């Protein structure tokens, strides 16, 4: 895990026909689908993927999100997602993602989330196992060494 990518950029997706709404662009719900697939790729790096859940009966739950839509995506366009581990503690993981339209790298959307590690047998928050925590710490340290995305921590408001 040394040299963890900053940002982590290992997911690309394509806008599917069934994702297009009456405005002629990708419906807001499907931005979240692409972010979720990118989150799966990130979690796989930490052995926190669905195989981990099947093997351990432990999982992650997203408990809070914030999405900023900046540039529409159209049918057939490709998107690349950059991910950052902003912070980790005994039971939580704070992540951020940016979606870029390919090939021009126009930023289309940003997504921030707080995740919890959960024991599925009790449905309660539980500490990360040591191997996963160590991997998360490496990524968090690598991402702390580069500038944090400037939109992280925004809130929905009407500025006056």
CA atoms of 144 and 118, how far apart (whole Å): 25
Check whether 151 has a pLDDT greater than 80.
yes
Stretch among 1-5, 65-69, 124-128 having the lowest mean pLDDT: 1-5
CATH of domain 8-144: 3.10.129.10
Instruction: Answer yes or no: pTM beyond 0.75.
Output: yes
Q: What is the DSSP code string of the chain? A: -TT--SSEEEEEEE--GGGB-TTSSB-HHHHHHHHHHHHHHHHHHTT-SHHHHHHHSEEEEEEEEEEEE-S---TT-EEEEEEEEEEE-SSEEEEEEEEEEETTTEEEEEEEEEEEEEETTTTEE-PPPHHHHHHHHHHHHHHHTSPPPTTTT-------
Mean pLDDT for the stretch of residues 61-66? 97
Stretch among 27-36, 86-95, 108-117, 148-157 having the lowest mean pLDDT: 148-157
Report residue 1's pLDDT band, with 50, 70 and 90 as the boundaries: very low
Domain locations in the chain?
A: 8-144
Check whether 31 has a pLDDT greater than 60.
yes
CA 103-151-14 angle, 5° bins: 30
Measured CA distances, 38 to 7, 10, 11, 71, 155 (Å): 12, 7, 5, 18, 23
């Amino acid at each position: 895990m040394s040299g963890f990518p900053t940002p982590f950029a290992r997911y690309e997706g394509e806008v599917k026909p069934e994702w297009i709404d009456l405005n002629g662009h990708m419906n807001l719900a499907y931005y979240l689908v692409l972010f979720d697939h990118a989150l799966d790729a990130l979690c796989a790096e930490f052995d926190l993927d669905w195989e981990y859940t099947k093997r351990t009966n432990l999982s992650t739950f997203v408990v809070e999100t914030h999405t900023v839509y900046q540039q529409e995506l159209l049918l057939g366009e490709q998107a690349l997602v950059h991910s950052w581990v902003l912070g980790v503690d005994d039971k939580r993981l704070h992540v951020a993602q940016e979606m870029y339209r390919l090939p021009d790298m126009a930023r289309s959307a940003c997504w921030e989330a707080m995740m919890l590690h959960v024991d599925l047998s009790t449905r309660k928050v539980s500490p990360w196992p040591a191997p996963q925590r160590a991997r998360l710490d490496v990524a968090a340290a690598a991402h702390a060494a580069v500038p944090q995305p400037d939109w992280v921590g925004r809130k929905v408001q009407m500025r006056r």
